[in-house]
Amino acid sequence: MRNLMAVTKALADESRVRILLALSGGELCVCQIVELLKLAPSTVSKHMSILKHARLVESRKEERWMFYRLDKDDSTVEAREMTALVARLLANDPQSPEDAKRLKQILKTDRDELCRKQNR
């Protein structure tokens, strides 16, 4: 039951669901997630901590960059099934294509530039 509660808590926030949907396309740097959601880095960090606790995402650090991706190796059955369900249920939600379009533009931007812009 603990795993299910952690997953449902993680999925109970629109920003965290948007992060998961964005990560379904592949690994992202935290600065790219910040840019997509237009949230403070500290807020995104808190969201990522909750997602990581639920074993929905995993992270890796490369020099000064923190990268996140969906946790496919260590995730629980509850995490995989709930994430797939949410993705199916939101397939036609208007926010999803908006985020996909915005993320496409963000991925064209240099990460160093994004990071500098966010740290001003």
In this prediction the pTM is 0.90
In whole numbers, what is the pLDDT of the chain averaged over residues? 89
Inter-axis angle of helices 41-53 and 30-37, to 10 degrees?
110
pLDDT of residue 15: 96
User: May I ask the CATH class of domain 2-115?
Assistant: mainly alpha
CA distance linking residue 31 with residue 96, whole number of Å: 19
Residue 39's pLDDT band (boundaries 50, 70, 90)? very high
pLDDT in the model for residue 102:
95
Please write the tens of the pLDDT for every residue from 43-97. Answer: 999 999 999 999 899 999 988 889 999 987 777 787 888 888 888 888 889 998 8
CA atoms within 13 A on the CB side of 34: 20
